[in-house]
Structure 1
């Protein structure tokens, strides 16, 4: 049995994807001709057949925009889904009522699926936004609630992410998309140095996700991604690395099946137990997921 066959046989957790319905809420970040393919609805019903065909048995649905209404909708969606096992939502970390807001989310429909919080830090002009006193207070409330915090940051914001994680050792920080490395330019440093510094803290985890859209979208190859995947694998190790598709954003450069195939090729040299961690174990532990969905089917991959 090949590495790919072993992973499919046991099931894959896709620890990072999105959905949106533009008739419910506009996605204000999706502007310009380069992002035009994303200016349409992407629903869970669109993802499900692709996920099942790829051997995915559970997913983590991640927030898209910083508004309070989205998270309850995602939790309700998870409550009625046998695919979505967890939700990384949003709340205003700068509010003095963070603890109360998190409790309200937990008490609402599907609240048991809330596993983490995220903010679009990549859009903040202050490179040290994570270290603001009000933000640190909000992050402490996230830790107190037993949730994790997903980091969506750009490379220049990684030093502040490290400092925040150092100041809050009781909170697990999950680095989304490997900190958005400059793959298209082929540069490794200073991104790699900043990632290794973050990984030196035991309360940090990283996602093998979002790499294809940081590469040249028209002619990327797995070899283009390899130096960056190898960096995070070496820095975090398999037990602190988890796979995520970043669907539907990944569609700017690759299909869902192609993203999973690339991740499996990047990890093909690892031992079966190490691949298990990246594709299943790390997400289960980090997010405290309970996977109850039906077995994956072996259908032909979808585009």
Structure 2
């Protein structure tokens, strides 16, 4: 019997000599203010039994996405890239086409914008953004949602408005794990999950908890809510490495996810740890470029 492959559907890399990560500030984030390269991830992934990954953008800089695509072209690990382009730009469709036609463009699977940093809670509903989202859909790409809980209603409305575009909710919408509150987050997540063109990532939860002393029981209500709302075939595991190292090692994050979904059937667990990511991002059972 073939063992289902394991996909880490959400991680980052950065080289501070190439580009500063200006969001890594203050003493709390000091542990990740250093280089994290794909070679470092490859060691972690091999130890954890991870076969393929999706590399996700970190900064709203146009040059980063072509760099990531070139990296995917030569990495045997990176199967897909969720990049960034300016969704509000009139030439967004041309920009997406240029990315697809460039080196490694076959690895572009999605686009993400740091909506969590936008002051306007309805940013996703602006006419210029809607035009950009239509371009993403027309390009056959997915849109990753990085939003705060208060932005979930706008995300749901955007998914209603763009039924031909798949929206993937990163980090379960950053629920208030540290406080233990479920509402209104749970109701808003269920409203999003009610739409067939949505999926979510079990990622980023340990850093929404109390970093120094989080427990599985802190995460379980949020994971259970997501699994019940989306179903295993629309849920995918992501490590959020290296951000996760603020609260846990790579292996600990994967181990926690395995424990949290242990009550699912074997086929459902295979979806969470690979099948969903393969299908949603169209990874086609491949790894990276390898050479």
TM range (shorter): over 0.9
SS at the partner of 2:284? Answer: coil
Equivalence for 2:183: 189
CA distance in structure 1 between the aligned counterparts of 2:21 and 2:73, rounded to whole angstroms: 23
> Any idea what the Cα deviations from partners look like across 1:120-147, whole Å, max 9, x if unmatched?
0000000010000000000000000000
Corresponding position: 1:287 with 2:287: no
Distance 1:223 1:237 in 2: 20
The Cα of 1:38 is off from its aligned counterpart by 1.1
| Structure 1 segment 157-172 matched on structure 2, within 5 A | 157-172=151-166
From 17, 27, 30, give the equivalent of 2:11: 17
The superposition leaves residues 54-74 of structure 1 with CA deviations (integer Å, 9 ceiling, x where unpaired) of 111100000000110000000
Equivalent residue for 2:149, pick from 145, 155, 173:
155
Q: Which residue pairs with 1:98 in the alignment?
A: 92
Query: Which residue number in structure 1 is paired with residue 264 of structure 2?
Result: 270
Distance 1:20 1:224 in 2: 30
Q: Which residue of 2 aligns with 1:243?
A: 237
- Per the alignment, in what secondary structure is the counterpart of residue 283 of structure 1? helix
Counterpart in 1 of 2:71? 77
For 1:183-222, list aligned pairs within 5 A: 183-222=177-216
Aligned pair 1:110/2:111, yes or no? no
Distance 2:285 2:76 in 1: 8
Contact conserved, 1:82 with 1:292, CA < 8 A, in 2?
no
CA deviations over 1:260-281 (Å, ceiling 9, x no partner): 0000000001100000110011
What 5-or-longer segments of structure 2 have no aligned partner? Answer: none
Tell me the distance in 2 between the aligned counterparts of 1:50 and 1:249: 14
Distance 2:193 2:26 in 1: 34
How big is the shift at 1:33? 1.1
Give the C-alpha shift of residue 105 in structure 1. Answer: 0.3
Q: Distance in 2 between matches of 1:107 and 1:293?
A: 20
Q: For 1:55, which of 28, 49, 52 is the aligned residue? A: 49
What's the TM-score once normalised by structure 1's chain length? 0.93
Paired positions, count? 288
Tell me the CA shift for residue 293 of structure 1: 4.1
TM-score (norm 2): 0.97
Measured on the aligned residues, the alpha-carbon RMSD in Å equals 1.2
SS of equivalent residue, structure 2 residue 178: helix
Distance 2:169 2:155 in 1: 9
User: CA–CA distance in 2 between the matches of 1:206 and 1:292?
Assistant: 21
Distance in 2 of aligned mates of 1:167 and 1:19? 33
Q: Given the alignment, which residue of 149, 170, 173 partners 1:176?
A: 170
1:253 and 2:253 aligned: no
Q: Deviations over 1:7-38 (max 9, x none)?
A: 9x432100000000000000011111111111
CA distance in 1, matches of 2:182, 2:144: 23
